[in-house]
Each structure stands twice: as C-alpha cells, then as structure tokens.
C-alpha cells in the first residue's frame, strides 16, 4: 500500500506577534536578536540629543553670547567646515548641535549599522549557523531580505527616537526667542540624514560581507567611513571628497532649517544600491565561502609557540597591527594639517576668543592644541582597541581553548598574567605606531613633533588601564563579558567627561571619568594623578584577574 502523507494535525500556529518579534520568522528573530543593540543605540542617540540641548543653555545662556558664536560663520577655516558640519545658525540650539555633534551622531550610528549588517549574514555564515537556516524552505534572497528588513526596522525606530528626543530637547531646554525651537520637519530631516549615512556605510558592509567575510567587511567599511568623513572635511584628501556622502549632504543642515533633499536622496539611493548588491551577492555566491582579504601572512616566528606569553601576543598581533595602522594613519593626516588650522585661527583674535568659549580646555591657536582637540576621539579609539585585546584574550576561554591549555602544567594565574602582559604589549605596539604617525605627519606639516610624540603615550597609558579593567573582570567574574564591559567603560567614561561640565554635574561625578585626569599631554601638560591611576588599574587589574581566576570555575 502506498504510504500516504498524514494530515498535519496538531501543528502549532505561528502567531502574528512572533512573526514580527520572536521565533516566528527570520525577520522576527533578527529583530529580537537586535533588541539590546537597539536599546543601546536609541538610548545613546536620544540621550545625547537631550543633553546637548541642556548643554547649550548653560554654555550660551544669553542673546549676546549667541551672537558671538554666530560670528564664527564665514570666519571659520574652510577645513573645519565640513569635518564638523556646515556652520549655520550657530547661535541656535539646532545649528550648534548640528555643527559640533552632528558628525558624531552619524558616525556612531553608521558604526552600529556596519557591525549589524556585516554580521547578520557573513557572521552567521562564518559560524556555520546560517547553513541550518538556509536549509529551511526559503530562498537565500528571502533570508537576506528578511535579515536586512529587520535591521532597517531597528534603524528606523532608533531614528524616530532621535527625532522625538531632539524636539523634546528643544522644547525643554531651548529658548524660542533665540531661535532654538526645532520643528518636526527639521528633526525628521536630521534623523533621516543620520539614518541614511548609517545605511550607506552599513550597505557597504552588507555588500562586502559575502565576499570578505564579517571582519573583513566591517574593517574595510569602517576604514572607508573614516576616510570619506575626513576627505569631506580636510582638504588634503582631494578627489576622495567627491565620493563622500558627508560631502553630498554638506548643505543639509536640517536642525538649522536648511535642507538639501536631492543630496540626501543621493545618499539613500546609493545605500539601497549597495544593499541590493549585498542581497544579490549573497544569493549567487556559495554560502560561507569568502575570498577574505589577501593580507600578507605574518612570519611564523611572531606567532609565538614558545610559551604562554608569546602565544598570547602572537594571537593579539594581527589586531594590534590593524589598530596601530589605523591610528597611525589618522595621526599622519591630522598632524600634517594642524599647523594650517592653527595659523588661520591665530590671524583673528576675536576668533580665538570665540573658540575658547566653545572649546574651553584647548588652545586652538597652537598645533598641539588642535591635536589635543582630538584627544577624546583618540582615547575612545585606543580604549575600544584595548577592549578588543581583552576580548581576544578572553576568547581562549569562550572558544574552548583554555581547557586544553590548563590541562598542561600551566597554572590559571599564569594564563591570566601571560594574557595581560600580551595585551599590554599589543597596546605598546599600537601606541608606538600612533606616535610614529604623529611624528611623520608633524614633520611633513612643519610642526615640531616633540610634545605630540611624547603626548601620544597617554593613549597607551589609558588603553593599558582599560586592559587592566577587562582582565580583572575576566579573571574574577567571567571572560564572556570582559570585552563588552571594557568597551562600556570606555563609552561611559567618554559620556561623563563630555556631559558633566556643560550639565554642571557635581565635580566628584566628573572626576569619575578617567579621561578627566589625563591633562593635555599633546601640549606637554601632564596630569600625574591620571597616569598613576591608569598604571594602578593596569597592573592591579591583571594581578586581580590572576587571583580571581584561581578561585572560579572555568567556563
């Protein structure tokens, strides 16, 4: 008797809710998986919009001070215009926020998009879990589109939060008589700009993912993003500016009531094209087979098989070199341009005074002052680099290698110490490459690099402290969160240091930020309390991690 298909009685129905959020569809699961990233991104974007509004009221409380800052328009060095954003209506909340922090909103959101869209398919393919999803009765195109739609959904929601918080911020803290009111169209225009820029670079990562794999796609996209941002702002990179979405939208200053919808649409169209290329490449290529980046292989002897420390350093070396090259190039470009920035400012004493109001802690009439202006960004980059070193060390345990290592006559504490020392060596290498970049750039720009080279070491000192914190967390508690918590410490430190002064928060709260104790090393002003605190955290953290590891279970 021929076998007959049994009726599918008893099959559970897939609820509509779980199709949109949950395990009812690929889209629903991807949305669910993105919830934490969404909360962090929307929280940061909305929170920043709110506190920026609060800040301007305290920095420029009077009409006279607003007029003073408005004078910057037209007298500002051209090379500063696009890097920060076009200065329009600087005396208003929207104009000031767009100019001083607009790029930060766009770059931060783009970084989220890059990480999400490089990982959603390529990362899962690399891990092998995509094979199982692809074996389900859907086409590869549908899988790609559902995953893409999920990220776009989260991005749209985050942008909605940003727009709403921007309006709330202007209503709560702005002065309508001084032109601070932000209309809904302006807020939406700003959020669209941030979202489109994010989708542009996220789209690039998505398109590269099937070819380069997750890390290759994320790395290349992040590097292109920084390059195109700087190309748009710094005149030294010539034609590159013409392909920068920042350049296409330079006249779109929505929070100041200036719109360039065609420019914005161009960014959107290219973003959609990149996403479409990503979908097609994923559909046509073999699953999980990537070309990878043909980087030269490291020689065998630096991979370190002699012992625990050399092995740990050999493991860290590729990412230490990657961070070092990235920071070094950044240093070369900036250091070569700072002299012209400083020269332009020095020519006008009123300009110097105005800049002192906006950047009270930096002397922008000097080249070192300009480098110091970027100190916060350097510190964020170095801190995040340190978090990735912690994460790499932690992967010994999270990936399952540690069992085999500890089954040899290697004590737990020794593994922690070896990993900590290797991460510190990686920090040192990265810092040396950054200092070299600063030296080369300064020499080519006709600036004496002495203080700046020495000042570059503050990056290493701060990064070493972050490594110490991460290793302590990994050793005492768990390695699976050590990298993430280290990165969180970097971001929270940055936010405290950024927001405490304008919000007039208690001094003790501001002092919690490690970066508030770094002095101004780029112009030779050191804060030794900060240095000592960093060194204590670095050495103490590793020792504490070693002690903690002796007491807890291996995961």
Q: Which DSSP letter does residue 250 get?
A: T
Residue with Cβ nearer another protein (39 or 554): 554
Q: Which of residues 309-348 bind another protein (CB under 8 A)?
A: 311, 314-315, 318
Whole-number minimum distance, CB 551 to another protein, in Å?
8
Of 297-305, 329-337, 482-490, 536-544: span binding another protein (CB under 8 A):
297-305
The Cα–Cα gap between 491 and 227 comes to 22
What's the closest the beta carbon of residue 410 comes to another protein, in angstroms? 6
Q: CA nearest 248: which of 344, 106, 112, 373?
A: 106
The least CB distance from residue 129 to another protein, in Å, is 15
> Binding residues for another protein, how many (CB under 8 A)?
25
Could you give the maximum distance between any two Cα atoms of the chain, in Å? 99
Binding-residue pattern over the window 535 to 554 for another protein, x denoting contact by CB under 8 A: ------------------xx
Q: Is 286 in the site for another protein (CB under 8 A)?
A: no
Q: Which is nearer to another protein, 43 or 400 (CB)?
A: 400
Distance from C-alpha of 248 to C-alpha of 82, rounded to nearest angstrom: 11
- Please, which residues bridge with residue 542 across strands? none
Q: List beta partners, residue 252.
A: none
CB of residue 294 to another protein, shortest distance in Å: 15
- What are the structure tokens assigned to 553, written together? 């279970």
Residue 551 per-residue DSSP state: T
- Which residues in 453-472 contact another protein (CB under 8 A)? none
Q: Which of 139, 184, 262, 400 binds another protein (CB under 8 A)?
A: 400
* Burial class of 353 by CB neighbour count within 10 A (0 to 12, 13 to 18, 19+): exposed
Applying the rule CB under 8 A, the residues between 401 and 430 that interact with another protein are 401, 403-411
Residue 285: partners with Cβ closer than 8 Å, 6 or more residues away: 210, 211
Cβ proximity of 332 and 437 under 8 Å: yes
Shortest reach from residue 329's CB to another protein, in Å: 24
What is the phi/psi pair of residue 55, to 5°? -70, -45
Q: How far is the CB of 408 from another protein (least distance, A)?
A: 4
Smallest gap, in angstroms, from Cβ of residue 412 to another protein? 8
CA gap 404, 415 in Å, rounded: 12
Helix (H) or strand (E) holding 519: strand 519-520
- According to DSSP, the residues that pair with 520 across neighbouring strands are 525
Residue 124, interface with another protein (CB under 8 A)? no
Residue 399 found at the interface with another protein (CB under 8 A): yes
Specify the residue, 295 or 532, whose C-beta has the smaller distance to another protein: 295
User: Cα 99–236–361 angle (5° rounding)?
Assistant: 45
Spatial distance between the Cα atoms of 265 and 462, rounded to a whole number of angstroms: 41
Q: Which of 43, 139, 184, 307 binds another protein (CB under 8 A)?
A: 307
Question: Quick one: 17 or 552, whose CB is closer to another protein?
Answer: 552
Q: Of 190-198, 274-282, 304-312, 443-451, which part binds another protein (CB under 8 A)?
A: 304-312
Which is closer to another protein, CB of 108 or CB of 548? 548
Compare residues 23 and 301 and give the one whose CB is closer to another protein.
301
Burial of 410: CB neighbours in 10 Å, binned 0-12, 13-18, 19+? middle
- The footprint of another protein (CB under 8 A) covers 298, 300, 303, 305-308, 311, 314-315, 318, 399-401, 403-411, 553-554
């Amino acid at each position: 008797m021929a076998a007959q298909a049994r009726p599918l009685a008893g099959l559970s129905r897939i609820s509509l809710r779980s199709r949109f959020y949950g395990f009812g569809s690929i889209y629903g699961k991807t949305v669910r998986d993105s919830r934490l990233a969404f909360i962090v991104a929307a929280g940061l974007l909305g929170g920043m919009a709110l506190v920026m509004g609060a800040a301007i009221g305290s920095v420029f409380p009077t009409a006279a001070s607003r007029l003073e800052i408005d004078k910057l328009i037209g007298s500002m060095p051209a090379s500063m215009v696009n890097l920060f954003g076009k200065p329009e209506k600087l005396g208003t909340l929207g104009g000031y926020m767009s100019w001083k922090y607009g790029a930060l909103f766009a770059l931060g959101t783009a970084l989220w998009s890059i990480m999400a869209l490089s990982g959603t398919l390529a990362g899962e393919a690399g891990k092998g879990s995509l094979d199982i999803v692809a074996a389900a009765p859907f086409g590869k195109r549908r899988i790609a589109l559902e995953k893409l739609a999920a990220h776009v959904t989260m991005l749209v929601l985050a942008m909605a939060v940003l727009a709403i918080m921007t309006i709330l911020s202007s209503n709560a803290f702005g002065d309508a008589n001084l032109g601070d009111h932000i209309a809904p169209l302006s807020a939406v225009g700003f959020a669209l700009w941030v979202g489109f820029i994010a989708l542009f670079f996220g789209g690039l990562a998505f398109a590269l993912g099937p070819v380069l794999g997750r890390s290759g796609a994320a790395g290349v996209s992040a590097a292109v993003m920084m390059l195109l941002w700087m190309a748009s702002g710094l005149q030294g990179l010539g034609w590159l500016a013409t392909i920068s979405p920042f350049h296409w939208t330079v006249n779109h200053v929505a929070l100041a009531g200036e719109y360039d919808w065609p420019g914005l649409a161009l960014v959107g169209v290219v973003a959609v094209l990149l996403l479409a290329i990503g979908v097609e490449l994923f559909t046509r290529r073999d699953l999980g087979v990537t070309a990878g980046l043909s980087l030269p292989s490291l020689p065998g002897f630096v991979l370190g098989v002699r012992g625990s420390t050399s092995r740990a350093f050999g493991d860290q070396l590729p990412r230490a070199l990657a961070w070092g090259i990235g920071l070094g190039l950044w240093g070369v470009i900036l250091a070569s341009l700072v002299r012209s920035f400083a020269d332009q400012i020095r020519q006008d004493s009123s300009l110097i005074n105005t800049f002192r109001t906006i950047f009270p802690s930096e002397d922008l009439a000097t080249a070192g002052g300009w480098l110091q202006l970027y100190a916060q960004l350097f510190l964020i980059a170095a801190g995040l680099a340190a978090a990735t070193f912690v994460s790499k060390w932690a992967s010994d345990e999270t990936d399952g290698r540690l069992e085999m290592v500890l089954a040899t006559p290697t004590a737990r504490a020794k593994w922690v110490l070896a990993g900590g020392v290797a991460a510190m060596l990686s920090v040192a290498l990265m810092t040396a490459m950054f200092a070299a970049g600063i030296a080369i750039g300064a020499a080519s720009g006709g600036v004496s690099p002495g203080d700046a080279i020495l000042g570059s070491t503050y990056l290493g000192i701060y990064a070493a402290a972050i490594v110490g914190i991460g290793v302590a967390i990994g050793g005492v508690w768990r390695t699976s969160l050590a990298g993430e918590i280290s990165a969180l410490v970097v971001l929270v430190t940055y936010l405290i240091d950024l927001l405490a002064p304008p919000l007039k928060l208690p001094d003790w709260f501001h002092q919690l930020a490690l970066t508030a104790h770094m002095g101004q090393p780029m112009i030779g002003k050191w804060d030794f309390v900060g240095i000592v605190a960093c060194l204590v955290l670095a050495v103490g953290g590793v020792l504490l991690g070693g002690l903690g590891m002796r007491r807890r279970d291996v995961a």
